[in-house]
A = this chain, B = another copy of it.
Amino acid sequence: MPEHPDIRIDVSNMMAPHLPGGTERAAFEGGMADRFGRAFDEVALRRKRGEMGFFDLPYASETVDQVEGLANGFGQWFEDVVVLGIGGSGLGSLTLRDALCGPLWNERSDEKRDHFPRLRIIDNPDPDTVRALLDHLDPARTLFNVVSKSGSTAETMAQYLATRDWVERGLGEDEARGHFLFTTDPGRGALRQIAESEGIPTLSVPENVGGRFSVLSSVGLFPAAACGVDVRALLAGAAAMEARCRSRKLVDNPAGVLAALLHAAHTESGRSVHVFMPYADRLRSLALWFQQLWAESLGKEGGGPTPLASVGATDQHSLLQLLMEGPRDKVVLFAGIEREDDVDIPERHPEMPGLAYLGGHGLGELLDVERAATAEALRREGRANLSIQLPGVTPHALGQSLMLLQIATVYAGGLYGVDPLDQPGVELGKTLTYGLMGRDGFEAPELDAGDPRWRF
């Protein structure tokens, strides 16, 4: 086995005759491959124009040097690293922490964390959360990593102002400065300005990398590196996947296969709900990360699929009924992992048929069997699904997965005929918020008052 095996995708359960009513080989090799070729060309052109910086992040060796320098020398001095960031500015580090640091990271003793800091991602300006957090932390041993590409995200800046005040009250103005690190645009925005005037350390998000494509930039890398994650292996995995996705020929491009099949399932068979269902607690946050990536990149111009983050086996007891017998409007993307260690299920109660069969197996084995059984049950009912198999939850395999899903997303943008890099739909809500908060230059909007008769 190679040192870093590839992740593998099996789409048999999308295809006829394995899936009753599934995609025909001729369609895959014909129209689908042609449409993919055009989407590939569009992506290649935009990449060449320098608009799709995420492709190049695995090769940004200066960035990784800088991130590691800062993480090792500075970040790891703290006991708590707190990321203040929302959307793509928080989901990347959440995904890396949960996958690569493993369960209960923040509750482990210092020794069981190998003396790396705890990592908290505060992605909501919720006063209950912020109050509980500040009540819990020691300002003297806490670093706040404020992450906002624009440097003016309302939620993140509000959190920054509140926490900065708290640190200054605890440690004094001078010392407070040493407890902040800004990750923001290289040239513009309020965070950049503050950093320059106050001498606060910063990391840059490349101008051509948007929030939801930033997990492999300093946005995701710094918090992960601070907690001891091997970010070079993560980037090597991403590079390996980038290299696997250079072909214009559909059958030779795994991200293309994903994008083309999901797009066709939606536009040709009405399967508009794309359920991402890893069978591993460590990948729960990856499902949330994918949900944002897929929704915000493709949900525009009146179209776009609805991604649904999920986890197995848990959601067999929540969503499976709907997946099996609800409308045929879904595709399930299973993700499984190779396991090195399992937890044994001991043999007890051989007299009880409802328990006896479990003994001698392992918990991970049960998870894997349930995944196979669920995929097969869906297939038999004509419910489309596919499986992604990771060779372990390693930095390299996660890097591959993140790059696979990002490349699939920009291909899907081409197939859906939308720009996967913008998010014009969030502007109206922002403008109304500014108006309601009394921001200069924004008028207080008139809100529809509703009707008291429609209140219950």
Contact = CB atoms under 8 A, between A and B. Distances in A.
6 contacts: A127-B342, A155-B317, A162-B345, A165-B346, A304-B322, A324-B426
A9 B22 CA distance: 43
Interface string A268-309: 000011000000111000001001100110111111101010
Interface residues of A, number: 151
A372 B437 contact: no
Interface in A314-334: 314, 316-330
Contact of A366 (B155, B363, B440, B451): B155
Contacts of A18: 448, 450-451, 454
Interface stretch (A30-38, A86-94, A200-208, A226-234): A86-94
A72 interface: no
Q: Which 3 A-B pairs have the closest CB atoms?
A: A87-B317, A299-B322, A12-B450
- Copies of this protein, total: 2
A154 B158 CA distance: 46
A301 B423 CA distance: 37
Contacts of A300: 321-322, 325-326
A41 to B, nearest CB: 21
Interface stretch (A45-53, A189-197, A216-224): A189-197
Contacts of A328: 302
A131 B369 contact: no
A67 B43 CA distance: 60
A190 B131 contact: no
A143 to B, nearest CB: 18
B363 A125 contact: yes
Interface string A323-353: 1111111100000000101111110110011
A304 B441 CA distance: 46
A409 to B, nearest CB: 13
Contact of A425 (B104, B325, B447): B325
A12 B321 CA distance: 32
Nearest to A330: B306
A455 B157 contact: no
Given A193-B352, A295-B322, 15 more contacts: A126-B363, A155-B366, A158-B358, A162-B344, A165-B348, A190-B354, A251-B456, A272-B329, A296-B317, A296-B319, A302-B328, A308-B308, A321-B423, A358-B437, A373-B445
A436 to B, nearest CB: 5
A11 interface: yes
A59 interface: no
Interface in A62-102: 86-91, 102
A341 B448 contact: no
B12 A376 contact: no
Contacts of A264: none
A359 interface: yes
A161 B426 contact: no
Given A349-B194, A353-B440, A437-B361, A454 B10 contact: yes
A440 B356 contact: yes
Nearest to A289: B318
Contact of A341 (B124, B127, B295): B127
Contacts of A157: 354-355, 358
B324 A354 contact: no
B455 A281 contact: no
B152 A429 contact: no
Given A344-B162, A377-B429, A436-B373, A10 B450 contact: yes
Nearest to A253: B456
A81 to B, nearest CB: 15
Interface in A1-53: 8-15, 18
Contact of A128 (B281, B374, B379, B440): B281
